[in-house]
Structure 1
Amino acid sequence: MKSLVQETFENNSVGFGDLMENKTSIYEEFGLDVRDARILVVGAGGAGNNCITRLTNMGVKGAQTVAINTDAKHLSITNADYRLLIGKEITKGLGAGGYPTVGKNAAEESEKELKKQIGNADMIYLVTGLGGGTGTGSSPVIARIAKEAGAIVIGCVTMPFKIEGARIAKAEDGLYQLRQICDTVIVVENDRLLKIAGDLPLQQAFGVADNLISTVIKGVTETISQPSLVNLDYADVKTIMHSGGVASVGFGESNTKNRAEEAVTKAMVNPLLEVSYAGGTGALVHITGGEDLKLDEVNLIGEHVSRELDADAQVIWGARVDPAFNNKIRVITIVTGVKSPYILGPVDEQRPQKKDFAQELGIKLYQ
C-alpha cells in the first residue's frame, strides 16, 4: 500500500510554472487588472551607486534599479536600469564635496525629475552610505517624494566606522531624518563588518556590505515576485515594513548536519548592527536551500526567530529552492523595531544637543 507521501509526489501534477501560466486567466476571471507591485531599488550617492552596480550585475527579477548622484563621473560608470544626475546647476556634475546641504539642495533642484523617475513605485528600497554629502543630503528628499507618491519606502543605509570622526555626526543626523520619513530603515554598521571581514583588504571589506544589502534586496524581492517554495506576499511584507522603525539585518549559512539551526543562529547572533531584540515589532525571514530543503527545517528556522522576539511580534517567512544551494541553507533575517546605541529614542523625541550641529551642516530636522 502506497504511503500518503508517495501518493502526494506522484499526483502532484500542478507545479509553480502551471500556476504562473494561469495567472492572467485567474485575474481576468475575478475582474482584476494584471499588475504586479512595482519595486524600485534606488541608490543615492557614491556608496549607493556602488551597491546598485553590484545588484544590477547580480540581476534581480521583479525590480528595477535607479542610480542617483551629483557626481557625473561616478554616475557614468554605474550600472543601473536608470541613471539620474541631480543638481546640475548647483554642482555642475562635480559632486557635493561632502556637504549634506549641497546634496539636499541638489535633490530639491531636481525634484521634478525625481518625481517622474520614482513617482509610480509601490515599494522603494533606498540605498545609501550615510556620512557624506550626496547620500546623506539627498536621501531624505528622495524618501519624501516617494512617500508623498504613496510608496512604501525602506531605507538601507551603512553607518561610518567610529574612527571617521565628523562623518559620524553627519550620518547620525541623516539617519534621524530618514527615520521620520521612511517606513523602515535597515542599518548596517561598518564596524560590525570587522567581525566577518576584518582580514580582507579595505575595498573588499566594503564589498561585503554591498553584497549583503544586494543579497537581502534580491532575495526578498524575488520571493515576492517569483514562484517560490513558500512565497512572501507583498501585502505581508508591506505590513511588516510599514512603520517598522529601525531594522537590523542578519545573515547565516551552514552545510552541516544541523544546518538549519546553525544558519538561523548565525543570522540572529551576528547582526550587522549592535541591537537588542527586546521590543522588536516584527521579522521578515528569507530562507534559501537546495532541492533537499525540508519543511521541518523551514519550520525550525521560523520558530527560532519567533522565540527571540516578543510574543506579539509578527514574523513572516518565505523559502526558495535554488539548485546551487544543494546541502546548504542560507537564512536572512530583517528584524524591525529594534533598539540600538545609534537610536536615541522615538523619532518624536526632541534632540536639542543635535539641533545646532544639524543647522551648521544645513540639515533640516523635521519635527
Structure 2
Amino acid sequence: MKNSLTQKIGDEIVYNKPVIKVIGLGGGGGNAVSRMISRNFTEVDFIAANTDSQALKSNSAPTKLLIGPGITRGMGCGGNPEIGELAALESESLIREALQGADIVFLTAGMGGGTGSGAIGVAAKIAKDLGAVTISVVNTPFSFESGKRITNARTYLNKLAAHSDTLIAIPNDQLLKIVPRDLSLKESFEIADDVLRQGVLGISQLLTGVGEINVDFSHIRNMMMNGGGSLLTIGYGKGPNKVSMAMYQALNHPLLEHLPIENATGMIVNFTGDENLSFREVVEGMGYLQQLSNHQAEIIPGQIVDNRLQDEVEIILIVTGMASTPLESLNTKPEVKKNSLEREKTSPKTFYSNVAIPDSISHGEETKVLETVLSSTEPMRSMQSIDGPIIPTPNTEKKEFSASAEAAFETFMSPLGLSGYTPASITKNVENSDTDKIQDLDIPTFIRRKM
C-alpha cells in the first residue's frame, strides 16, 4: 500500500489528522468530561473511567470504562487512592484499548480522592507507552480539606508528573479568589474546566487550521515531549493593541502559575486573526517573547487566517522547558519553617506563587497584588496588571531582567499604557483611560465570553 506522504504528484493525498483523546478519571474527571461534551466539542474522543458503576452510567461520554470490577465490584474506592491505582492496573488492557491510536491524550481528575488520584498516573503511563503526548490537567484540594486528602494529592501528583509531558495543577482555592460570590458550584468548576477546554481547543485549532504559517503535529510533539515541562495557554485581544492584549492575557491566566518564561527552551506561538492582521504586529509579538526568554528559546511561529475574528486576535502559546512547581509545596502551611527554607536553597527549580484576587471580579475592584517568591537561581518576570500594580515580594538575591528584556517590555507594553514599569520593583498605579476598556482581561474566558 502506498504511503500517503510519498505519493506521486497527481495522486490523491490523504491527510491523517492527529487523534486527540480526553479521558476523565474518577468523579471529578468524569464530570469535567461531561461538561466539555455539553460544549459541543468535535473531532475529539471523550472517555470516562470510574470504579463507581452508578456514576459512570450517568456520564455522557461515548466511551465508558468500568475499571477494577474485581477489586471494587463497581462500588467505588471509598476515597482510597491505593485501591484506585490497583483498579486501573487491573483494567490496564481496557484503558490501553481505549487510548490506542491517540496522538495526544488529555487526562483530567480531581486529586485527593480515590479513583481519580490513583488511576490517572496509571492511565498517563499507558498513554506514554503508546507514544502519545500526555497532557494532565487536575484540581488540587481546598486548603480546608483534611490532611489525608492533601497528602493523597501530593503523593499521586508526584506519580503523575513522572508520566506527563505537561502537568497543570489548578488549586481549588484559586476558584474562591476569582469567581463571583453568587456563582454556583457547578459554574465555578466550569471555570476550572476552562483551562482543559482551552488546551484541547487550542491544540485542535493548531492542528486543523490552515494559514500563512502552519504549525504541524511534529513541532508540537517534539517540543512537548522533549521540553522538560510545558504549558499551554490562550489569550484574546481586540482593537488597535490586540496583540499586546492577547499576549498579556496568555501570560497571566488567573488559574495558572506565574509563568517562569525566562527558563523556557522552546515556544510555539500561533496568531489567529483576520486577513488584516499585520505582519509587523506578529513580528513584534515574537520579538517580545524572544527577548523575554533572554534569547535562549527556540520559537516556532504560526499564523492562521480566520475572517470571523474582525479586528481580533487569538494567541495560542505553548511554552516548554520551564521549571516546575515542586509538588511538595502543595497546600503548605503559611508559617515559615527551617526545613522549608533549607529545601528552597537546595532546589534550583523551586518557585511558589500566590495570586491575590478580589472576592468578586464583577464589582470593579481596582487593586490586584501578585506576590511571587523565587529561589535565587531563577530570574523573575513581573508584569504590571492592567487594572492595578503588581507588587513583587522583595528579594535581593533574585536576578534582574537583562537590559534587552527590559527594553522589550517597555516597547511591547507601551500601547497599553503600561510602560515605565521596572521589573522586580514596586510600580505606580496606571492612569490611562484605555485601561478601562481592557480591564476585563483577567476575567476568565468562560465568564467574559458567556460561553
Query: Could you say which TM-score interval applies, normalised by the shorter chain?
Result: 0.7 to 0.9
SS in 2 for 1:262: helix
Could you tell me how far 1:292 is from its partner in structure 2?
A: 4.5
Q: Hey, what's the Cα distance between the residues in 1 that align with 2:306 and 2:186?
A: 29
What's the counterpart of residue 304 of structure 1? 288
What's the counterpart of residue 207 of structure 1? 190
* Aligned pair partner of 2:310 in 296, 320, 326: 326
User: One-letter code of the match for 1:191?
Assistant: D
Could you tell me how far 1:176 is from its partner in structure 2?
A: 0.9
What's the counterpart of residue 358 of structure 1? none
Please show how residues 63-102 of structure 1 align to structure 2 within 5 Å.
63-102=44-83
Deviation string, structure 1 residues 29-76 (Cα, Å, up to 9, x no partner):
279875333322222122222222233333444432222112222222
Please show how residues 260-271 of structure 1 align to structure 2 within 5 Å.
260-270=243-253
* Aligned pair partner of 2:238 in 228, 247, 255: 255
Could you tell me how far 1:236 is from its partner in structure 2?
A: 0.4
Could you tell me how far 1:136 is from its partner in structure 2?
A: 1.0
Residues 341/185 of structure 1: CA separation in 2 closer, same or farther (3 Å cut): closer
Larger radius of gyration: 2
What's the counterpart of residue 190 of structure 1? 172
User: One-letter code of the match for 1:151?
Assistant: A
* Aligned pair partner of 1:217 in 177, 200, 207: 200
What TM-score do you get using the length of structure 1 for normalisation? Answer: 0.77
Deviation string, structure 1 residues 97-139 (Cα, Å, up to 9, x no partner):
2211111011111112112111332221222222221111001
SS in 2 for 1:41: strand
Residues 278/330 of structure 1: CA separation in 2 closer, same or farther (3 Å cut): same
Please show how residues 19-58 of structure 1 align to structure 2 within 5 Å.
28-29=7-8, 35-58=16-39
User: One-letter code of the match for 2:323?
Assistant: K
Q: Hey, what's the Cα distance between the residues in 2 that align with 1:193 and 1:296?
A: 37
Could you tell me how far 1:177 is from its partner in structure 2?
A: 0.9
Q: Hey, what's the Cα distance between the residues in 1 that align with 2:36 and 2:303?
A: 20
Please show how residues 217-236 of structure 1 align to structure 2 within 5 Å.
217-228=200-211, 230-236=213-219
Could you tell me how far 1:234 is from its partner in structure 2?
A: 0.3
User: One-letter code of the match for 1:184?
Assistant: T
% identical aligned pairs: 33
Q: Check conservation: 2:18, 2:207, Cα contact below 8 A.
A: no
What's the counterpart of residue 156 of structure 2? 174
What's the counterpart of residue 159 of structure 1? 140
Q: Check conservation: 2:4, 2:14, Cα contact below 8 A.
A: no
Could you tell me how far 1:235 is from its partner in structure 2?
A: 0.4
What TM-score do you get using the length of structure 2 for normalisation? Answer: 0.63
Structure (1 or 2) with the greater helix fraction:
1
Q: Hey, what's the Cα distance between the residues in 1 that align with 2:162 and 2:132?
A: 15
Q: Check conservation: 1:119, 1:145, Cα contact below 8 A.
A: no
Could you tell me how far 1:290 is from its partner in structure 2?
A: 4.4
Q: Check conservation: 2:236, 2:314, Cα contact below 8 A.
A: yes
Q: Check conservation: 1:244, 1:336, Cα contact below 8 A.
A: yes
Q: Hey, what's the Cα distance between the residues in 2 that align with 1:337 and 1:271?
A: 21
Q: Hey, what's the Cα distance between the residues in 1 that align with 2:177 and 2:241?
A: 23
Residues 159/125 of structure 1: CA separation in 2 closer, same or farther (3 Å cut): same
Structure 1: any 5+ residue segments left out of the alignment?
Answer: 1-23, 346-352, 354-367
Q: Check conservation: 2:165, 2:230, Cα contact below 8 A.
A: no
Matched, 1:136 2:117: yes
Could you tell me how far 1:286 is from its partner in structure 2?
A: 4.2
Q: Hey, what's the Cα distance between the residues in 2 that align with 1:250 and 1:123?
A: 16
User: One-letter code of the match for 1:168?
Assistant: I
Q: Check conservation: 1:278, 1:339, Cα contact below 8 A.
A: no
Could you tell me how far 1:250 is from its partner in structure 2?
A: 3.8
Worse-matched range after superposition: 261-270 or 53-62: 53-62
Q: Hey, what's the Cα distance between the residues in 2 that align with 1:214 and 1:341?
A: 22
Could you tell me how far 1:142 is from its partner in structure 2?
A: 0.8
Q: Check conservation: 2:264, 2:320, Cα contact below 8 A.
A: yes
What's the counterpart of residue 357 of structure 1? none
Q: Check conservation: 1:71, 1:94, Cα contact below 8 A.
A: yes
Deviation string, structure 1 residues 257-278 (Cα, Å, up to 9, x no partner):
3121012112213453334333
Q: Check conservation: 2:4, 2:15, Cα contact below 8 A.
A: no
Q: What is the number of equivalent residue pairs in this alignment? A: 323
